[in-house]
Structure 1
Amino acid sequence: MHVELQELGRAVKQAQYRQHRALDSALQAIGTTLAQWDALRAISRSPGASARELAAATFQTEQAFGTLAGRLTAQNLVERRPGHGRRIEHHLTPTGRQILAAGHKIADEVLADCFSALPNADRATLLDLLRRLGAARDT
């Protein structure tokens, strides 16, 4: 069976778009956005990371992440501290940890709904395939 690659690419993008819209909409209930919650998640995974590291982890430019980190700091969700040399380290505040935890619960619900059409075996296959694609790009 021949698969039209542009159609495949569009289907992946469409699924991602729907997922992102659903997450962004649901996260509004706790006063955050998908981009903000994703940044909190990245900081939680790598406390003390630089803006460059966090930008890469969240698929943003350094400039875009810096702007986002400034908003998160103004909302008392993130604290920026001087690091070694000119490095600025990022850490979650207690309020940031609360928003992150609430976001995890929302994300679990939204993603369960997004993937509800697939049985668990198909979800595992999809995850394996996407990981293989990601690994192929890294080599």
Structure 2
Amino acid sequence: MGTTLAQWDALRAISRSPGAPARALASATFQREQAFGTLAGRLMAQGLIERRPGHGRRIEHHLTPAGEQMLDAGHRVADEVLTDCFAPLPPGDRATLLDLLQRLNYGEDA
């Protein structure tokens, strides 16, 4: 689809936290700040994100319309992959698995 998994992950992080600085986005994508800066530079060169001045020396990151389209395309691919991965489970088992994962994620009791 014209992007890498690392680039798509960066687009997801920016989408979840529009205006976030590189430090926060690097942490969200499990990268060092310098590595994220290099990646963001590539995304900017492709027209997928833009950097804007923020408060003080802070640089904010935002998706462009092209970045939003790329992110959506990545979500469609991810949905297909997840569907294929869990297809062997019957619907009831998938629902149970989803419930268990949500409890782990949110710490909810049964």
> What is the TM-score with the length of structure 2 in the denominator?
0.84
1:70-120 CA-to-partner distances (Å, cap 9, x unmatched) read: 110111101011111110100011111111111111111111112223331
Task: Structure 2: state its 5+ residue gaps.
Answer: none
Instruction: Map 1:18-57 onto structure 2 (within 5 A).
Output: 30-57=1-28
**Count of paired positions:** 104
The match for 1:89 among 57, 60, 70 is 60
Pairwise CA distance, 1:129:
6.3
Q: What is the match of residue 127 of structure 1?
A: 101
Structure with bigger helix share is: 1
CA distance in structure 1 between the aligned counterparts of 2:87 and 2:34, rounded to whole angstroms: 36
RMSD: 1.7
CA distance in structure 2 between the aligned counterparts of 1:33 and 1:115, rounded to whole angstroms: 23
1:124 counterpart letter in structure 2? L
Pairwise CA distance, 1:122:
4.2
Task: Structure 1: state its 5+ residue gaps.
Answer: 1-29
Q: After TM superposition, which residue ranges in structure 1, 4 or more long, deviate above 3 angstroms?
A: none
CA distance in structure 2 between the aligned counterparts of 1:126 and 1:71, rounded to whole angstroms: 38
CA distance in structure 2 between the aligned counterparts of 1:115 and 1:60, rounded to whole angstroms: 29
CA distance in structure 1 between the aligned counterparts of 2:31 and 2:97, rounded to whole angstroms: 27
